[in-house]
Amino acid sequence: MISYILRRTFAAVILLLVVTAVTFAIFFLLPRLAGQTADQLAQQYIGKSPSAADIAAVKSNLGLDDPLYLQYWHFIKGIVSGATYDLGPTTTQCNAPCFGYSFKTHVEVWPQLTSRLPVTISLAAGAAVMWLVSGVAIGVISALKPGSFFDRSFMGVALAGVSLPMFFTGNLALLLFTYQWPIFGRTYVPFTENPAQWANTLFPAWCSLALLYSAIYARLTRSGMLETMNEDFIRTARAKGLRERKVVVRHGLRAALTPIITVFGMDLGLLLGGALITETVFSLHGVGEYAVQGIKDNDLPPILGVTLLAALFVVVANLLVDLLYAAADPRVRLS
Amino acid sequence: MRPWREFGKFPLMEEKQTIMRRSALAAVAAIGSVSLLLAGCSKADDGKTDDGTKAAGANAATKGVVNASTQAGGTVTYEYSDVPDSFDPGNTYYGYMFNFSRLYARPLMTFKPGPGEKGNELVPDLAESAGVPSDGGKTWTYKLRSGLKYQDGTAITSKDVKYAVERSNFARDVLSLGPNYFQQFLDGGDKYKGPYKDKSAGGLASIQTPDDTTIVFKLNRAFQEFDYLAAQPQTAPVPQSKDKGIDYVKNIVSSGSYQFQSYDEGKQVVLVRNKNWDAATDPLRKQYPDKIVVNLKVNAETIDQDVQAGNAIDLGGTGVQAATQADVVNNADKKASTDNTYGGRLVYMAINTKLKPFDNVECRKAVQYAIDKVSVQTAEGGPIRGDIATTVLPPDIPGYQKADLYATDGSKGDPAKAKEHLKACGQTTINTNITARSDRPAEIDAATAIINSLKTAGINATLKQFPSGKYFTDYAGVPKWDADNNVGLMMMQWGADWPAGFGFLQQILNGSAIGASGNTNLSQFDDKEVNDLLGKAIGTEDQATREGMYAEVDAKTMDAAALVPLTYFKVLLYRPANFTNLVSTAAFSGQYDYLNIGTTKK
């Protein structure tokens, strides 16, 4: 078990390195290959018709003069041992883990990530609970009475949920429940400050996200349950005279849950790396919004930081999923 | 320079459309129709605002101060869909920040809050009177008011103003985002390296501070509009001991009526009353609200809702989103709460005067006559978004004189006349390319309308689209690229850095402004008379004579048909209820003047 976790962790670190290298290449190497010079890159960070001296100064400040592998090395080194940035009259020490220093907003990336992460976690966790509970419940009920009115109508709603984009559901939820009938709050408050208001403000966002995801989970659960409920061991359980509720929950659902755990782990990991659209629509200052701003500004360090964070969450979620597998399904052994 | 101020608010919806255009449009359409439905049962039906008063009527804030009040207290909330380049007065180029920063940073001069063009009037702020020119406009002397203090109670001296100009204009590797006119016009400005590199005690020799209340600027040429430069936030004092370069934005020392309570990068800024600000030293600011909150990165649609509910002011001040516009203009009651005003900006199409066959003025005249400006206006969003333009200077810029050299019936174009000029040019048909910015749907639509009207006159133009971030640095603004790619026509918008003819015309018409990259004189117009007139105008002391010269430059440009004016850009602002002292000023592109806005809410 321990050696399994160690091996997986080592693989995760390698994977993260690859992810940073690819992101780095996309934002730094591709423009170069397309003919963009270091001067043009530097010019993006200066307001207007800059002199040659200005460009040279910005280039050396940002290290754009260095060969690409060196720039990448500086980034990786910063994460482990920190870095120092020249701000003109003063310098700033960016302590490890230093995820870089934003060229555009002039703040370090790491404190931005840590201050925004609670927002994203609040959004993702709340939505995850909602979609998991509703999705699985609907799936189970539908599977037990396939073809019934309940099954058909809920699968219809589920289909609509998957097809409606966040732009639509999010904005509609805002319009109806925040402006027309102002039931829900507008400004995010941390959980530690006021849990009631925290939930109250996030509720429309949770619902919108949950509508999108629970549809997928309902369908997954339904098909999984339909399959398991026809398995031999279910017949055996029934033959033993177990109560139907126990058959469904203990034997049926538990077996059908394995693929759902897999998808859930991935979804949650991805969402923790930033729900770009949801955060933008609901004006939540989370990690995803930070990435959007970085992309808009052509500001590499925030993009790299968020990408790395997202990759980390997905990798960790994957590991947890594999561990949970063993718990949910006794047939699985970790080796 | 790049026309930064025209960027204004970057509507989020536009962004989304490029990612997932169809669903974004669907959402907009859906929200639009839902809100139309809901509008039917809204309680604002009688045109009354929440506190029971009648809305002041359409365009009221462009004619006078709406909700004039001296009521103090409460919180004034601003919202913005993006983040500004910087709150540091020495590192910003956005008009709304020029406007807003005055709450905590007092420049030497500023614009007097006033409706429409009345807002263009310059008044002394930190200085006790306007600049005194000598040496034919090459030397400008300002005297500071007495008793000026920073938020910590220390005295403001002229040396702090000198330092503020030095750091903002000469340390371009550190503070690079603002304009650098002082660097261009101050004597020896090209050699000074800024206070972070040049540690000599004297600093820049051409800014002199003979005593603590006097500051003298020595220029390299006569410049009669220097007071406009002194009105930039860059002349707001910065104490050298507190300056941390790019990090100063986190600890700005206030000289205005409000000071920073908190600065949360990219999220929120809170200002509270500055206790060391003294009304006796300041005839302009009133310090009405207790608190001023700026919320950043707020969904653009959310901002529109909040503005209509009387909860917030849109900081960007570039007007409502398309869906809201459709809703508001079709509802008489809501329309009574709007201000539709000029934004100090011209939407135009530049004609490449260096490219064959457009180097012949007759071919350019053919283009002037061929274009149906009504179809272009419609593509830009109709009369709400701009009046049909026939001159280079928009009506809200001093120096504007009404003229229509290439008048056609109903401004709908005249293909027959265009063909005549084409013949005089020795052509029967022209094949060329037209550039537009891919992330600006209205500009693309306008270019398409132009292509259709040009076709009727035998001019075939093909649309080429480029992202706005690289439009000037890599494409249209690179003369060699234009020549290599047969680009004869270029879509363009231009707003002045200060509301006067020189600020507007210099960068788009003077031959000396043509650069190898980042060029904004897209027509590559290099007319000796125009160049001389601009040079002469800026050295002329009498304002009326100067403005006459700008009108002359305008007329000569139209004679030479160097560009086709399309529309005088207009913004549609929704005037939020519950806020006091709202006045839409031409000095800040039609935005409300942010100096004295208060609230009736507690």
Residue B91: DSSP 8-state: S
Nearest CA in chain A to B467: A296
Query: What's the longest Cα–Cα distance across chain B?
Result: 74
Query: How far apart (Å, rounded) are the C-alpha atoms in residues B136 and B185?
Result: 14
Q: Of B348, B375, B350, B351, nearest to B362 (Cα)?
A: B351
Among A54, A289, A293, beta carbon nearest to B172? A54
Backbone angles phi, psi at B569, to 5 degrees: -60, 135
| Model confidence at B309: pLDDT above 60 | yes
Name residue B132's beta-bridge partners. Answer: B141
Helices (H) and strands (E) in chain A, counts: 15, 2
> Nearest-CA distance from A283 to chain B in Å?
5
Asked if residues B214 and B36 have their Cβ atoms less than 8 Å apart, the reply is no
From residue B549, give the alpha-carbon distance in Å to each of A289, B25, B107, B185, B451. Answer: 49, 47, 29, 21, 34
Average pLDDT over residues B180-191: 90
* Strand residue runs (E) in B239-278: 258-264, 268-273
Query: If you search the block for the tokens 């170069």, which residue do you land on?
Result: A32
A63 vs B: CB within 8 A: no
Contact residues for A76 (Cβ-Cβ < 8 A; gap 6+)? A17, A20
Q: Of B160, B226, B218, B508, nearest to B350 (Cα)?
A: B508
Nearest CA in chain B to A37: B474
A283 vs B: CB within 8 A: yes
A49 vs B: CB within 8 A: yes
Q: Which residues of A150-165 are buried (b: 16+ CB within 10 A; e: fewer)?
A: ebeebbeebeebeebb
The pLDDT value given to residue B3 = 37
Task: List strands edge to edge, sheet with B338-351.
Answer: B386-388, B563-574, B338-351, B487-495, B430-437, B459-466
Among B10, B26, B179, beta carbon nearest to A168? B26
Q: Which of B37-41, B375-379, B525-529 has the lowest mean pLDDT?
A: B37-41
Query: How far apart (Å, rounded) are the C-alpha atoms in residues B437 and B463?
Result: 10
- Confidence band (pLDDT; 50, 70, 90) for B29? very low
Q: Of B439, B575, B600, B598, nearest to B64 (Cα)?
A: B575
Query: How far apart (Å, rounded) are the C-alpha atoms in residues B310 and B304?
Result: 10
The mean predicted confidence, pLDDT, of chain B is 88
Residue B297: DSSP 8-state: S
Q: Give the burial class of B350: count Cβ atoms within 10 A of its Cβ; 0-12 exposed, 13-18 middle, 19 or more buried.
A: buried
Residue A243: DSSP 8-state: -
Structure tokens at B308: 């209509």
> Nearest-CA distance from A49 to chain B in Å?
5
> Nearest-CA distance from B263 to chain A in Å?
12
Residue B139's SS3 state is: strand
Query: How far apart (Å, rounded) are the C-alpha atoms in residues B516 and B435?
Result: 18
Query: How far apart (Å, rounded) are the C-alpha atoms in residues B264 and A115?
Result: 10
Residue B313's SS3 state is: strand
Our CA angle for B16, B17, B18, nearest 5°, is 90
| Model confidence at B152: pLDDT above 60 | yes
Chain centroid offset of residue A319 CA: 16
The pLDDT value given to residue B99 = 96
Interval B115-141: pLDDT, tens: 998 999 999 999 999 999 999 999 999
Asked if residues B315 and B298 have their Cβ atoms less than 8 Å apart, the reply is no
Q: Across the interface, do A106 and B246 touch by the CB < 8 Å criterion?
A: yes
Contact residues for A59 (Cβ-Cβ < 8 A; gap 6+)? A38, A39, A42, A65
Q: Give the burial class of B451: count Cβ atoms within 10 A of its Cβ; 0-12 exposed, 13-18 middle, 19 or more buried.
A: middle
Structure tokens at A84: 């120092």
Interval B345-373: pLDDT, tens: 999 999 999 999 999 999 999 999 999 99
Query: How far apart (Å, rounded) are the C-alpha atoms in residues B84 and B76?
Result: 18
Name residue B122's beta-bridge partners. Answer: B111
The pLDDT value given to residue A334 = 61
Name residue B588's beta-bridge partners. Answer: none
Residue type for position B150: Y
Structure tokens at B22: 């169809």
Asked if residues B524 and B507 have their Cβ atoms less than 8 Å apart, the reply is no
> Nearest-CA distance from A193 to chain B in Å?
18
The secondary structure element, H or E, covering residue B150 is none
Query: How far apart (Å, rounded) are the C-alpha atoms in residues A110 and A94?
Result: 9
Tell which wins on pLDDT, A142 or B13: A142
Q: Of B505, B584, B596, nearest to B549 (Cα)?
A: B505
| Model confidence at B10: pLDDT above 50 | no
Asked if residues B464 and B424 have their Cβ atoms less than 8 Å apart, the reply is no
Query: How far apart (Å, rounded) are the C-alpha atoms in residues B431 and B451?
Result: 11
Name residue B268's beta-bridge partners. Answer: B264, B295
Query: If you search the block for the tokens 């992309």, which residue do you land on?
Result: A295
From residue B523, give the alpha-carbon distance in Å to each of A153, B507, B559, B564, B591. Answer: 63, 11, 14, 10, 30
The pLDDT value given to residue B599 = 95
Contact residues for B574 (Cβ-Cβ < 8 A; gap 6+)? B304, B307, B308, B314, B320, B324, B328, B334, B337, B338
A106 vs B: CB within 8 A: yes
**ipTM of the prediction:** 0.75
Q: Across the interface, do A167 and B27 touch by the CB < 8 Å criterion?
A: yes
Query: How far apart (Å, rounded) are the C-alpha atoms in residues A82 and A102?
Result: 14
Query: If you search the block for the tokens 């040009």, which residue do you land on?
Result: B454
Nearest CA in chain A to B178: A47
Contact residues for A324 (Cβ-Cβ < 8 A; gap 6+)? A261, A265
Residue B146: DSSP 8-state: T
The pLDDT value given to residue A214 = 86
| Number of C-beta neighbours around residue B412 at 10 A | 12
Q: Of B133, B223, B211, B154, nearest to B182 (Cα)?
A: B223
Our CA angle for B282, B286, B292, nearest 5°, is 120
Among B196, B297, B518, beta carbon nearest to A285? B297
| Number of C-beta neighbours around residue A143 at 10 A | 23
Average pLDDT over residues B454-480: 89
Nearest CA in chain B to A289: B297
Domain ranges of chain A: 2-98, 110-334
Structure tokens at B248: 């100063």
Nearest CA in chain A to B27: A168
From residue B46, give the alpha-carbon distance in Å to each of B49, B53, B70, B326, B332. Answer: 9, 10, 27, 20, 10
Structure tokens at A318: 């994957």
Residue type for position A35: G
The pLDDT value given to residue B19 = 29
| Interface probe, candidates B23, B93, B173, chain A, greatest A C-beta count within 10 A | B173
Task: List strands edge to edge, sheet with B268-273.
Answer: B258-264, B268-273, B291-295, B75-79, B313-314
Q: Across the interface, do B297 and A289 touch by the CB < 8 Å criterion?
A: yes
Asked if residues A207 and A130 have their Cβ atoms less than 8 Å apart, the reply is yes
Query: If you search the block for the tokens 């398409």, which residue do you land on?
Result: B448
Percent pLDDT > 70 in chain B is: 91
Q: Across the interface, do A48 and B267 touch by the CB < 8 Å criterion?
A: no
Pure H helices in A229-299: 232-239, 244-246, 254-272, 276-281, 287-297
- The answer regarding whether domain A110-334 maps to CATH 1.10.3720.10 reads yes
Contact residues for A250 (Cβ-Cβ < 8 A; gap 6+)? none
Among A40, A54, A90, beta carbon nearest to B473? A40
| C-alpha distance across the termini of chain B, in Å | 44
**B85 contacts in A (CB within 8 Å)?**
47
Our CA angle for B544, B548, B553, nearest 5°, is 145
| Number of C-beta neighbours around residue B119 at 10 A | 22
- Confidence band (pLDDT; 50, 70, 90) for B553? very high
**Which chain A residues in 1-40 lie under 8 Å from chain B, judged by CB atoms?**
40
**B171 contacts in A (CB within 8 Å)?**
88
Residue B364's SS3 state is: helix
> Nearest-CA distance from A276 to chain B in Å?
11
Residue B218: DSSP 8-state: E
Interval B221-277: pLDDT, tens: 999 999 999 999 999 999 999 998 888 999 999 999 999 999 998 889 999 999 999
Nearest CA in chain A to B195: A89
How many Cβ pairs within 8 Å bridge chains A and B? Answer: 130
pLDDT tens, position by position, for chain A (335 residues)? Answer: 678 778 888 888 888 888 888 888 887 777 777 777 777 777 766 655 566 776 777 777 777 778 878 888 887 888 888 777 766 667 777 777 788 777 777 778 888 888 899 999 999 999 999 999 998 998 888 888 888 888 888 888 888 888 888 888 888 888 888 777 878 877 788 888 888 888 888 888 998 888 888 888 888 898 888 888 888 888 888 888 888 888 888 888 888 888 888 888 888 888 888 788 888 888 888 999 888 888 877 777 888 888 888 888 888 888 888 877 777 666 666 65
Interval B501-549: pLDDT, tens: 998 998 899 998 888 877 889 999 999 999 999 999 999 989 999 999 9
Asked if residues B330 and B602 have their Cβ atoms less than 8 Å apart, the reply is no
Q: Of B284, B238, B288, nearest to B124 (Cα)?
A: B284
